[in-house]
Structure 1
């Protein structure tokens, strides 16, 4: 899996794979959400690389090696595409001025804004996540204070991680592994009253 991820990452278009000798490999890739065109071509795109990386870690690949093959940019693009899939209007690398802050992703839907901090970390610790939550809450407050013209009422800070994490919430801010981001968004409207938010 890591070899395939490495090949895809080093090829601008993607790679052609011969599955005749190992038909179960094609089945495995498809079951992990990897898009295989014409049953033999895997494109070099953020979605495929993230899905391959998660699959590789899931079967025991070295996390550090996988993280080296997936850029933080791929991680942000993939996260933003999941938001778009759920009908959020998406802003990427949104800047707030005075004081200057950058928000990785803002997803807006039904006057709610999810501000997402993507953590493409090789390992997670409570203290590091606690600091990330503190900074994300600060960005949430700043965005609310600036009365930005995004048509929003409530701002929810969220941390999305590459790795699975034992911490589901810190200070009422959700910590969401990327492989659970889709289901989190599906259930968001049912649970958002339990999350920290800032009023815009």
Structure 2
């Protein structure tokens, strides 16, 4: 049976392209005799193609898919998110929204002025406008203010109530200038409780 710490470390070996066991071991610092077992296990989970004990081909998004497998297995989402890159971190945020019944859009760009929103989740005619920060440090006031401006601009364009949110790896849930700063480990519970707490968070109309 593969130990959970090795499964977490193995995420570092899932990179785009053809990956040999030697390369996987170098990326993860997992002993070679365990690497073969792990790569075969990932193949059985549907992660990667053409596994033949000499190599496996991974794709953009394979690491995110692997992270979802580990979340479903019960491993800590915080530890998984730390091993994702910023783009997969956005994808993980969107997957959580989808699982809670939100319609999701990624990387919406508004012009004049140019503003980009990482992830948008819409449900019951309310939008969560999310800035994903793959950070473990505190979010500065200026970042929260910019996200509020994005929400105001989006709300004006799309005529819908919008709530600015920042999702991070940081483990504390707090508020900066009226903007919820939500750790990814608590994001699912935030979305589950969101509509009951709507009157307590900043929104635009």
- Residue 45 of structure 1 and its aligned partner are, at CA, apart by 3.3
Alignment of 1:41-190 (within 5 A): 44-49=62-67, 55=76, 67=82, 69-121=83-135, 123-125=136-138, 128-145=139-156, 147-148=157-158, 153-165=160-172, 167-190=173-196
TM-score under structure 2 normalisation? 0.68
Contact 1:159–1:176 (Cα < 8 Å) also in 2: yes
> Looking at CA atoms only, which structure, 1 or 2, has the larger radius of gyration?
2
- Residue 154 of structure 1 and its aligned partner are, at CA, apart by 1.0
Superposed CA RMSD: 3.3
Match of 2:14 among 2, 5, 8: 8
For structure 1, list consecutive stretches of 5 or more residues without a partner in the other structure. Answer: 20-25, 27-35
For structure 2, list consecutive stretches of 5 or more residues without a partner in the other structure. Answer: 1-5, 25-34, 49-61
Contact 2:47–2:65 (Cα < 8 Å) also in 1: no
**Cα distance in structure 2, aligned partners of 1:96 and 1:86:** 26
- For residues 36-64 of structure 1, the C-alpha deviation after alignment (integer angstroms, 9 at most, x for no partner) is 674x7656331433786984965xx9xxx
1:170/1:50 Cα in 2 relative to 1: closer, same or farther (>3 Å)?
farther
**Cα distance in structure 2, aligned partners of 1:156 and 1:120:** 20
